[in-house]
Amino acid sequence: MNEQDQLNYTRIAEAIEYLKSNFKQQPNLEEVAEQVHLSPFHFQRLFHDWAGTTPKKFLQYISLEHAKKLLKEQQSTLFETAFETGLSGTGRLHDLFITIEGMTPAEYKNGGKSLTINYSFAESPFGNLIVASTPKGVCHMAFTKNDIMALNELQSKFPNATLQQKLDLKQQNALFIFQNDWSKLPEIKLHLKGTDFQLKVWETLLRIPLGQLSTYGTIAETIGNPNASRAVGTAIGNNPVAYLIPCHRVIQQSGNIGGYMWGTTRKTAIIGWENAKIDAL
C-alpha cells in the first residue's frame, strides 16, 4: 500500500468510526466529510471505492442494526426505537425497514407474525426442493434431501410467520422452468430481503443468460466494486432462491467450478443441463 492509499484508508476508517459513534445524530454527508478534511464530492467517491457503498447507505445499515436490536432484545415500541435511533419519526423507521429488510418494523419485531407463507415440495431434474411464497412472490427455494429439515430451515428464516403447505400460482410459475416452459419467466415474481449490496449482486445474477457463465470478479466489476470479489462471493452464498437467482452460473476466474450451497456436483449438473438446452434450441 503506497502513501496515498494509506492516507485514504485512514480517512475512511476514521469516517466509519465517526458514523458508528454518531449515528444517533444522523450526520449528513457534509458533516462526515468535514471530519476527514475532504470535500463532500471527493469523500463520497472515496468512501464508495473503499467501503463498497455510500456513506448514506452505511449510516442506514448501522441505524437499522441498532433498531433491530431495540425491537427484538428490548421490545421497544416503534416510537421509542425511532427516537433512540436518531430518526425523526416512525415513518422514517418504516421506510428504512422497507428499503433494506423488505418488511415493516412491526413485521420484523414479530418475526413475520403477520406474514402468511405458502410452501410446497416439488421434484426437479436436480433433486427435490422446497419452494415458498408470500403474497408478493417467491421468497425461498432450496434443494433438499429431507423435507422436515427443509421446513425447519424455512421456519428459522420466518420464525413467527404463518406457514401453510399450499401450492399457489407464484410457485407454479417458478416451477414451470424445470418443465422447459420458458414462457412463464416474465410471470415469476420474487420477494427478497437483503442489504443493498446483496440485492445488487442478486439482480446482476439474474442478467446472466441461460447457458452462459460469469466470474466473481466480473460480477464485482459489473456492480461497480472491482475489489469486492470476496464480498460478492458472500452475497452469492446467501442467495435465498435456488436456481431462479442463478448463482450456479458464477465460477472462479481460473475456470474452477467454485463452491455452491447445494453441492458442486449439483452445480456441475445444472450447468451441463442448461448448455444442453441451448444446444437443443
What is the full per-residue pLDDT of the chain (281 aa) written as tens digits?
567 777 777 888 888 888 888 877 788 889 888 888 888 888 888 887 776 677 877 777 777 776 666 666 666 566 555 566 656 555 655 555 555 555 555 555 555 556 889 999 999 989 999 999 988 889 999 999 999 999 999 988 888 788 999 999 999 988 988 876 566 666 788 888 777 788 888 888 988 888 889 999 999 998 888 888 888 898 899 899 999 899 999 998 888 888 899 999 999 999 988 888 776 65
| Calpha distance 268→259 (Å, rounded) | 10
Last residue of a domain, one of 109, 132, 154: 109
Residues serving a catalytic function are: 247
Q: Clarify whether residues 203 and 174 are in a common domain.
A: no
Q: Clarify whether residues 173 and 214 are in a common domain.
A: no
189 located within any domain = no
* Residues of the domain holding 266: 196-280
186 located within any domain = no
The burial class, CB within 10 Å (0-12 / 13-18 / 19+), for 220 is buried
Q: Which of 200, 205, 206 is nearest to 185 (CA)?
A: 206
50 located within any domain = yes
Domain of residue 22, CATH code: 1.10.10.60
Q: Clarify whether residues 130 and 218 are in a common domain.
A: no
Q: Clarify whether residues 155 and 205 are in a common domain.
A: no
Domain of residue 171, CATH code: 3.30.160.70
Residue 240 contacts residue 261 (beta carbons within 8 Å) = no
Last residue of a domain, one of 56, 89, 109: 109
pLDDT at 247: 94
Q: Clarify whether residues 135 and 203 are in a common domain.
A: no
Q: Clarify whether residues 14 and 100 are in a common domain.
A: yes
DSSP code at position 225: -
| Calpha distance 261→144 (Å, rounded) | 11
Radius of gyration over every alpha carbon of the chain, rounded to an integer in angstroms: 21
Last residue of a domain, one of 109, 138, 160: 109
Cell triple for 6: 494509506
pLDDT at 70: 65
The residue to which cell 428459522 is assigned: 156
125 located within any domain = yes
Q: Clarify whether residues 228 and 273 are in a common domain.
A: yes
42 located within any domain = yes
Residues 6+ apart with CB under 8 A from 106: 78, 114
Number of Cβ within a 10 Å radius of residue 262: 19
